[in-house]
Amino acid sequence: MKSHLALKCSKVTYSVKLEYLHAISNKDIDQFTQQPLSNKSNNNDAINILKVDKALVRFFVCCEIPFSVVDSPFFQDFVKSLCFEYKLPKRTALSTTYLNAETANIALKIKEELH
């Protein structure tokens, strides 16, 4: 619902749209974030996972690769060969939560540049 109000709904006011853009861009994605890459209780590891997930979404979108590739065992093997401990987010999380958050971040950056 938040994503719809922030990104698609034309019936809400600008201030409401802006509020929801902030909400989904700063959304607590912890429910989709995997465990840190090491056994240390270090916030930097969790932040690195968010960076990797964000880069993954950008890669899929900018290169026009379907999100269904995430389900491919060949792609999963490739990712595991790069970093065995990294767990790919589910295709649905990439194509909704992460994509909406990145779209909101871009919309907010455009707003900042224009004002």
Q: What does the pLDDT read at residue 30?
A: 47
Taking the C-alpha atoms of residue 104 and residue 25, their distance in angstroms, rounded to an integer, is: 5
Q: What does the pLDDT read at residue 29?
A: 54
Residue 98: CB atoms within 10 Å:
23
> Higher-confidence residue: 71 or 19?
71
Contact assessment for residue 45 and residue 37, using Cβ atoms and an 8 Å cutoff: yes
> What is the mean pLDDT of the segment spanning 75-98?
91
Contact assessment for residue 98 and residue 78, using Cβ atoms and an 8 Å cutoff: no
Q: What is the percent of the chain where pLDDT is above 70?
A: 81
Q: What does the pLDDT read at residue 60?
A: 95
Residue 24: CB atoms within 10 Å:
21
Q: Is the pTM of this model over 0.85?
A: no
Residue 48: CB atoms within 10 Å:
15
pLDDT greater than 50 at residue 35: no
Taking the C-alpha atoms of residue 115 and residue 111, their distance in angstroms, rounded to an integer, is: 6
At 69, the pLDDT band (50, 70, 90 cuts) reads very high
At 91, the pLDDT band (50, 70, 90 cuts) reads very high
Q: What does the pLDDT read at residue 15?
A: 83
